[in-house]
Chain A
Amino acid sequence: MRGPDRFSAETMRLSAVRPVALLLCRELVLTALLLVGVSVVVFLILHLAPGDPFSVLLGDQMATASVHGEMRHAVGEQGPWYGGYTVWLANMVRGNFGTSIRTGLPVLGEIVRVGINTLYLTLGSMLVTLLIAVPIALSSSAQGTTLRNWPFTMFAYVVSALPVFWLSYVVIYFFIHKFRLFPILLGPSGGQKWISFLLPILVLGIANGTVSEVVRYLQNEMSRVLAEDYIRTARAKGASVWAHAFKEGFLIPATEIIAAKMPFMLGGAVVVEQVFNWPGMGRMAWQAAQDRDYPVIMGIAIAAAVFVRVGALLQRVVYIMVNPRASHEESRSWGA
């Protein structure tokens, strides 16, 4: 009885090796293609911009053609757009993102230096969001929407409509005036480290505007899975329903929604970093937009897109690894 069973499982696993590897390769290629597309979009936006980036920088004082030409050359932009693009892309692949017009420092180094702070902030607040959303979603999908858990769902809605900048000020107010904790405005490098570190993460995790969507998605998926036949079978034979529903009902939807909401987190980080003086990519993007510091904002857009694409790639890897049907499916790259 057990022999043939194990044998068939073994052959299935052997036959499954190739498709999974192939799928992973395809995802990698897709990610690479998307990143090339991202660079084209970024380059085209700046190329279509009216007025000369350099006239902003130079002001009216030195508006001569030769100075412009020198500036263009220094930033590595010359000739028709595709020429400029290939030069720019080749430089970028070699790790040369240009230098900041404002500070004169190489962009890549700056982004790597502050990017790690943004990574802490976004991943930390994603965790906070999940800690709020998962219990609400699971309880209401297990019991159906009842009078007892409906207030929690509404709470999720209210929380996701909170303007994050106002919540930041309120939190700062309470921590300075009520709890007498002053050094929170120094950012992650100063003063009481843990509190300055935790507050922005908490604030962004609560008020990033995605909590209700996360609750809704997780709840719908879990309810759908709980209504499946295999869950009914599990329940009938007395096995743990949650163990059976975990993969399809929780793990896959949770990774999907994390990957899909990553861009929102990065966007919210722009605001939160501004309020809390957090030395991250968002603050740098704000500064660069103020100064029209093109190389920096281009670099940040690309770095952010790399964050998002790597997140999506990891989600696909989890999906392919967890879901045995993945190799039989056509691309599911829509949606998340």
Chain B
Amino acid sequence: MGGMKQYRQTSRQGLKVGRLTFLRAAAPRDLVCVGYGLCIALVVVLSYILGFLKLLPYDPQDMDLTLMMVPPGASGHLLGTDFMGRDILARLILGTQAYFLPGLLGITIALSLGALFGILAGYRERTADRTISFVVNLIDSFPRLVLILLVIAAFKPDIYYIMVVVGITNVPTVASLIRGKIQFLRDKNFIEAAVAIGLNTRSIILKHILWYNCRSLLIIQATLGMAEAILIETSLSYLGFGVQEPTPSWGNMVLSGANYLLQGKFWLSTTPALAILVTILGFHLLGDGLNNILEAGGKK
């Protein structure tokens, strides 16, 4: 009986291990990072949905001049109210609207164009490689924020335009990572072998390179891309080019609360700043934790 039980246990474990070996091999601290990051990502998605469905504790535009700058926890406002008596929690939740979809747009552009250029550079002969590396260097020459200001001056301060720019400026990173991966696979005679067993080019690139070998890399880049989208969106809203009052964005909330920070009413700008901090930290830890677990494990 005992032997049987043990056998069943090991076999069950064996099954699990077969699918999730990487989880067992991972360092606990990486799992902590990834867990925290996943929680944050979940909270962001939930807030986006809540904001989209208008399921908020208070009306975020509802001014109440009798309850201006109420400290957190007082008179039913969990995170206090801002300088016009608007509920900060509701505005924080609604603030995810400012970056979530635009961020996804930026990520999509970065990943699709990055994959395209990365494969062209890694797969095609030297001239294509050189041309693409030139373009990559060219894009890398511009400080992102300066390029964005240029586009704002030329077109209009629209967050979707801005995220297109962010997406394009992230293409180099993704492209060079994928190119490196292809180089790695080529060195292991992986591609040669795939050609030798008669796979066609499309299946090699789409299935065997992108799906089997670059999947985790693309997920990692997507999480880091979201962190960057938040950083850019909040910075621009702070600078006055992004979302405009009264529509809330974490950036313009910090800006409008900053004057009161100097008066000692710290929560007006500190709460949105902490939201930025916690969220960007979450996406960074998620990306880097996944990188440690999936990529470092895969290379060994």
Residues of A within 8 A of B (CB): 30, 33-35, 37-38, 41-42, 45-46, 48-50, 53, 145, 150, 157-158, 160-166, 169-170, 172-173, 176-177, 209, 212, 216, 260, 262-268, 270-271, 274, 282, 285-286, 288-290, 292-294, 297-298, 300-301, 304-305, 308-309, 312, 331, 333-335
Indicate if the CB atoms of B153 and A292 lie closer than 8 Å: yes
The stretch from B13-21, B59-67, B275-283 touching chain A is B275-283
Query: Which chain B residues numbered 30 to 77 have a C-beta less than 8 Å away from chain A?
Result: none
Question: In the docked arrangement, what's the CA distance between A160 and B283, Å?
Answer: 12
Indicate if the CB atoms of A161 and B280 lie closer than 8 Å: yes
Indicate if the CB atoms of A176 and B284 lie closer than 8 Å: no
B108 at the interface (CB under 8 A from A): no
Provide the residues of chain B in CB contact with A163, threshold 8 Å.
231, 234-235, 238, 251, 254, 273, 276-277
Least CB distance, B163 to chain A, in whole angstroms? 15
Provide the residues of chain B in CB contact with A300, threshold 8 Å.
146
Least CB distance, B111 to chain A, in whole angstroms? 18
Least CB distance, B173 to chain A, in whole angstroms? 9
The stretch from B90-98, B129-137, B212-220 touching chain A is B129-137
Closest to A122 in B: B143
* B side interface size, CB within 8 A: 51
Query: Which chain B residues numbered 130 to 173 have a C-beta less than 8 Å away from chain A?
Result: 130, 133-134, 136-138, 140-147, 149-155
Of the listed residues A48, A145, A289, A305, the one surrounded by the most CB atoms of chain B closer than 10 A to its CB is A289
- With contact pairs A173-B262, A333-B137, A334-B133 given, residues A38 and B142 touching in the complex (Cβ less than 8 Å): yes
Tell me which of A30, A172, A286, A293 contacts B239 (CB under 8 A). Answer: A286
- With contact pairs A42-B150, A289-B153, A292-B153 given, residues A334 and B261 touching in the complex (Cβ less than 8 Å): no
B223 at the interface (CB under 8 A from A): no
Provide the residues of chain A in CB contact with B241, threshold 8 Å.
289
Least CB distance, A41 to chain B, in whole angstroms? 7
Provide the residues of chain B in CB contact with A301, threshold 8 Å.
142, 146-147, 150
Provide the residues of chain A in CB contact with B154, threshold 8 Å.
45-46, 48-49, 53, 294
Question: In the docked arrangement, what's the CA distance between A221 and B146, Å?
Answer: 30
Tell me which of A46, A160, A262, A289 contacts B149 (CB under 8 A). Answer: A289
Indicate if the CB atoms of A157 and B281 lie closer than 8 Å: yes
Indicate if the CB atoms of B151 and A45 lie closer than 8 Å: yes
Known A41-B142, A290-B240, A331-B133; further 20 A-B contacts with Cβ < 8 A: A34-B134, A34-B141, A50-B155, A150-B29, A157-B281, A161-B227, A163-B231, A163-B251, A163-B254, A164-B235, A177-B262, A209-B280, A260-B140, A262-B143, A264-B143, A267-B146, A301-B146, A304-B143, A312-B141, A334-B136
Closest to A170 in B: B261
Indicate if the CB atoms of A145 and B143 lie closer than 8 Å: no
Provide the residues of chain B in CB contact with A270, threshold 8 Å.
143, 145-146, 149, 235, 239
Question: In the docked arrangement, what's the CA distance between A333 and B235, Å?
Answer: 30
